[in-house]
Amino acid sequence: MERSTRRLIPLLLLIPTLARAEIELDRLTSCEELGNIRSSLHTESLPQQCRNAASPLENLILEKTGELSKSLCILEETPSPMLNGFTCFVDFKHLGHSLFCVKPVQASEIYNYQENYKNQYSQKVIDYLIQISKCPVSNGSATQASLSNTPYLAATISKFQFGFISPLGTGIKTSDYVQQGYATIDKNLNINSDAIEYVNFLIDGKYPEKEKFITIGEWMLNIDHSEDADNILNQEFKRNSAPIKATGTSYTLKNVSTEQSDDSKLQTLDTLINSIANTLKDEGFKDKTKESMPPGGMKELIKRVKDSTPPGLADISKQKIGENVRFLINTTTQTCTKNNSGAIAFTIASIEPNPEVSSSFGSINLVAMSLGKCANSRPVQKYIDALIKQLDDSIKNELQSM
């Protein structure tokens, strides 16, 4: 690299910080460029010269992304002139192929937009969305983005404020989209920036599977044994050389037949949690909930979980973590537990019903953990799988009798 170029680098890095923040209503109408980026992401042919994080914003994103940051590449150059001034992160491993480009902006501009939306922006936004929809690469149904559309990398550091989203491809349901969004950053993060603008491409994205409910009397129950979350958790354990293997299950409840008060719904969840705990006790598990609580008890535990939730994800769910959390452990009945060399533990937690949805009765989430010597034991995993099936049945039986 030329010496003169090297000397320019610190200045170049400052550009995104100094860039004047304003609401740009033209990013998603660069139709040809959008089409080119989409094609490059599809074929993984995007030029990928990766560089290290250089700005506080880039470092913050990597720090908050944890395990997933290992598959992120910060592009040496932005893939298109429409993204000049942005830092772009590319990821070909998780959730399809994604390109997340971000730059600091001023929160005051975002608030100004929101306060003056009616007079200054509403018509421009309508025109913008109609223009975006006319791009050949769009499926023609661009719309306002919602909180739940927040890209993961944005959610780790910021709170969504508003944005625009254009599905790419043809037909109502496409697996690709591009999104432009604005989000505010907590001042306590101290990164000399209080907001971001982002442009995010998601290519070959997967739709979450629709929950399949089975009917038990007047209850509807979804049992989810999917391994996606387990895999991420287990990779994290592996990365930290922790001898733990986790197996998660969740039970989601609905009831469209009866109107029940919030208190009554919480009682139902408690009954089911107690039923699970009792089944485990019958299997030789000891309830160590009290002993495993931090000073400050359950409230402190829930606060810690909340504090560790990325700011952009905290507002998505209107449902709270239930206060009936249980921790049960078995240190005796399996061979791998001999001489305190291993154990099997279950945590039982719940998500309270959505207070604004009548049929919502919340969910119960179980995580079975094999620890120490038990973590790599096939018979133990078989035992846990069988035990979870038994718990599935005990939930069904409990609902049947309600």
Partner 1 sequence: MDDHLPMIKQPLTAISLASISLAVLAARDEFCLYSVHQGGDTINAPLCSNDIDPLRLSDNHDVRAAMSILGIDKNEISFKGCEHLSFKVKSLEDGKNTKFEIYYDTTAAKNIIAPILHEISHINQIKAEGSYQNLTKSYSSERIELGADYTAGYIFRKLPEKHELNEFEQNINLAGLYIKSEDTHGNPSRRDQAFRLGVFDTEAPSDARKINLYFQREIYGKIN
Q: How far is the CB of 99 from partner 1 (least distance, A)?
A: 23
Q: Which residue among 71, 108, 148, 258 contacts partner 1 (CB under 8 A)?
A: 148
Residues 160-179 touching partner 1, rule: CB under 8 A, are: 162
Residue 339 as a binder of partner 1 (CB under 8 A): the answer is: no
Residues 355-394 touching partner 1, rule: CB under 8 A, are: 355-360
Residue 211 as a binder of partner 1 (CB under 8 A): the answer is: no
CB closer to partner 1 out of 113 and 285: 113
Residue 354 as a binder of partner 1 (CB under 8 A): the answer is: yes
Q: How far is the CB of 12 from partner 1 (least distance, A)?
A: 35
Residue 303 as a binder of partner 1 (CB under 8 A): the answer is: no
Backbone angles phi, psi at 393, to 5 degrees: -65, -40
Q: Which residue among 22, 115, 228, 262 contacts partner 1 (CB under 8 A)?
A: 115
- The window from 25-33, 137-145, 184-192, 324-332 that contacts partner 1 (CB under 8 A) reads 137-145
Residue pair 19/104 in contact by the 8 Å Cβ criterion: yes
CB closer to partner 1 out of 139 and 250: 139
Residues paired with 252 in a beta bridge: 222, 363
Residue 147 as a binder of partner 1 (CB under 8 A): the answer is: yes
Binding track over 181-200 against partner 1, x by CB under 8 A: --------------------
Instruction: At 149, list the tokens.
Output: 């559309």
- CA–CA gap between residue 362 and residue 268 (Å, rounded): 10
Residue 125 as a binder of partner 1 (CB under 8 A): the answer is: yes
Residues paired with 90 in a beta bridge: 73, 99
Binding footprint of partner 1, residue count (CB under 8 A): 34
Residue 3 as a binder of partner 1 (CB under 8 A): the answer is: no
CB closer to partner 1 out of 147 and 189: 147
Query: Which positions ≥6 away from 95 have C-beta within 8 Å?
Result: 152, 202, 205, 206
| Ordered DSSP codes for 306-344 | HHTS-HHHHTT--PPBPS--EEEEESSSSGGGGGGSEEE
Residue 118 as a binder of partner 1 (CB under 8 A): the answer is: yes
Beta pairing class for 244-254 and 360-372: antiparallel
Residue pair 95/8 in contact by the 8 Å Cβ criterion: no
Residues 27-46 touching partner 1, rule: CB under 8 A, are: none
Residue pair 216/399 in contact by the 8 Å Cβ criterion: yes
- CA–CA gap between residue 130 and residue 146 (Å, rounded): 18
Beta pairing class for 219-224 and 326-330: unpaired
Q: Which residue among 144, 190, 192, 215 contacts partner 1 (CB under 8 A)?
A: 144
- List, in sequence order, the alpha helices (H) in 214-294: 228-239, 262-282, 289-292
Instruction: At 59, list the tokens.
Output: 């470092």
- The window from 15-23, 114-122, 234-242, 260-268 that contacts partner 1 (CB under 8 A) reads 114-122
Chain-centroid distance, C-alpha 328: 27
Residue 154 as a binder of partner 1 (CB under 8 A): the answer is: no
Residue 145 as a binder of partner 1 (CB under 8 A): the answer is: yes
Vertex 246 angle, CA 388 and 276, to 5° = 30
Q: How far is the CB of 117 from partner 1 (least distance, A)?
A: 5
Where do we find the tokens 């914003």? 57
- Binding residues (CB under 8 A) for partner 1: these are 113-115, 117-119, 122-123, 125-127, 129-130, 133, 140-148, 162, 315-316, 318, 354-360
